[in-house]
Amino acid sequence: MDHHAETTPPVPRTPINTTKPAEPYGRQDLMAGAMRKLLDKRAGIAHELMQLDLQLEYLFYDLSSTKDDPEDVETYDGKLGVSREFVNDYQGPIGQLQWLDLSGKFNHPGDDQGNLSAQRWGSGALIGDDLFLTAGHCFQREFRSFKVPHRNGVAITSQEMAMLMCVCFNFQKDGATGVARMERCYPIEGLLELSMAPNADYAIVKLGRDEQGTLPGKVFGKLEVAKQDLTVKNAILCIIEHPNRKEKKVEAGHLLDIRNGRLAYNDIGTCGGASGSPILDGKTGEVVGVHVKGGSVPLGGFNSGTAIGAIRAMSKLITNL
């Protein structure tokens, strides 16, 4: 008799498949397509929200622009908070951006001249013999009521926009005759610095010589740029501007608040075309900011500008000024 117990032959084991079952054919493609559609929809909604924000800004601008009426610089009565002498001393370096005549410049297939040919634009000020400080959004590529030139169906760059503009000085009414004085215009040779950030909206362009071969600063002088922010609430501010893109005017009021790189003021009347105007310290005449918004939403419906501290934090050109 065999003393060894009988054994059952081992049953072969089927290997366990740990891999995920294959997706049905085409499912991944369908999911990817659905994802792309959702991303495109989100991008479209984001663009619509941006447009709504712009419309709100413009609406607040229109509402706030009716509070006060700026006065012509040469017939100013001295009652807004700064003296007539102050305005006489500091109005010279303030100029106006203006588009060149664009006729014949955009004639290729897919080109569009837009509706800005020879259009008067924003305001600004000389801070050097050939350096002009203004608002960055004067060179943005999309506006609510205006269409910038397009090439091959695409809006031209901010740099090219600047090169299609000039800066004109002395566009103001003669105090004796009430007739606009003869302007003196200078070509823009380059967009040196540009920021359209909400808390640092500014630009600096380089100007060329006029027909007499002279730089604008040698004719109209320049403004001094403050070394630091003006933080004294209720301090007098003065804005010399081209409201409604017309002759140069002056307005003045009080500093309401300063926060996040923005100056707020609600008793200084501004209109479209005032963007880029220097905000002057009513005592020293120094540039303490650049006017950029009328009725700005983040500051609760008050006019506002980029504080000079925010500009200095970004600018390389202003460092030594």
pLDDT the model gives residue 290:
98
Q: Which helix (H) or strand (E) holds 152?
A: none
> Where is 133: in which H helix or E strand?
strand 131-134
- The pLDDT assigned to 171 comes to 98
Task: Give 69-112 pLDDT, tens digit per residue.
Answer: 799 999 999 999 999 999 999 999 999 999 999 999 999 999 99
Distance CA 7, CA 309 (A): 91
Q: The tokens 């939403």 sit on which residue?
A: 297
CA separation for the pair 200, 263 (Å, rounded): 11
pLDDT tens for 120-148 read 999 999 999 999 999 999 999 998 889 99
pLDDT of residue 18: 52
Q: For residues 16 and 241, what is the distance between their CA atoms, to the nearest angstrom?
A: 80
Residues whose CB falls within 8 Å of the CB of residue 179, separated by 6 or more in sequence, listed in order: 173
Tell me how far apart the alpha carbons of residues 233 and 265 are, in angstroms, rounded to a whole number: 10
- Tokens representing residue 249 in the block: 């005017």
Tokens for 306, please give them: 């980029």
Distance CA 174, CA 318 (A): 33
pLDDT tens-digit readout, 243-265? 999 999 999 999 999 999 999 99
Residue 194 is predicted with a pLDDT of 98
Calpha distance 72→68 (Å, rounded): 13
* pLDDT for 280 beyond 60: yes
Q: Collapsing DSSP states into helix, strand and coil, what is residue 274?
A: coil
Average pLDDT, stretch 156-185? Answer: 97
CB 208 within 8 A of CB 186: yes
Separation CA 73–CA 92 (nearest Å): 10
